[in-house]
Amino acid sequence: MRRTRLTHACVAALLMIGSWTAAGTLPAAAQDAPDSPASRTTDSAPASTALLEAMQRDFGLSRAEAVDRLAAEQEATDLAPEARKTAGSAYGGAWFDTGTEKLTVAVTEDAGASTVRALRASGAAVRTVEHSARQLDAAKARVDRIDAPSGVSSWSVDPAANTVVVNVVGDRRGDNDVRAFVAKAREAGPVTVRSVRAQAETFAAGTVGGDPYYTGNVRCSIGFSVHGGFVTAGHCGGAGQQVRGWDGSYIGNFQGSSFPENDYAWVNVGSGWWTVPVVLGWGTVSDQLVRGSAEAPVGASICRSGSTTHWHCGRVLAKNETVNYSQGAVRQMTKTSVCAEGGDSGGSFISGDQAQGVTSGGWGNCSSGGETWFQPVNEILNRYGLTLHTA
Helical H segments across the chain, by residue range: 2-15, 49-59, 63-87, 113-121, 133-144, 176-188, 377-384
CA distance 316 to 174: 29
Q: Which of 48, 132, 211, 235 is catalytic?
A: 235
- 389 assigned to active site: no
Specify whether the CB–CB gap between 18 and 349 falls below 8 A: yes
Q: Which of 58, 97, 211, 263 is catalytic?
A: 263
Q: Which of 132, 345, 348, 360 is catalytic?
A: 345
- 345 assigned to active site: yes
Q: Which of 352, 312, 350 is nearest to 334 (CA)?
A: 350
**Beta strands 191-196; 163-169: pairing state:** parallel
Quote the DSSP letter at residue 88.
G
Q: Which residues pair with 187 in a beta bridge?
A: none
**String of b and e for 260-299 (b: at least 16 CB within 10 Å)?**
bebbbbbbbbeeebebbbbbbbbbbbbbbbbbebbbbbbb
Q: Which residues pair with 362 in a beta bridge?
A: 201, 372
Phi, psi of 201 (to 5 degrees): -145, 155
- 263 assigned to active site: yes
Residues tagged active-site: 235, 263, 345
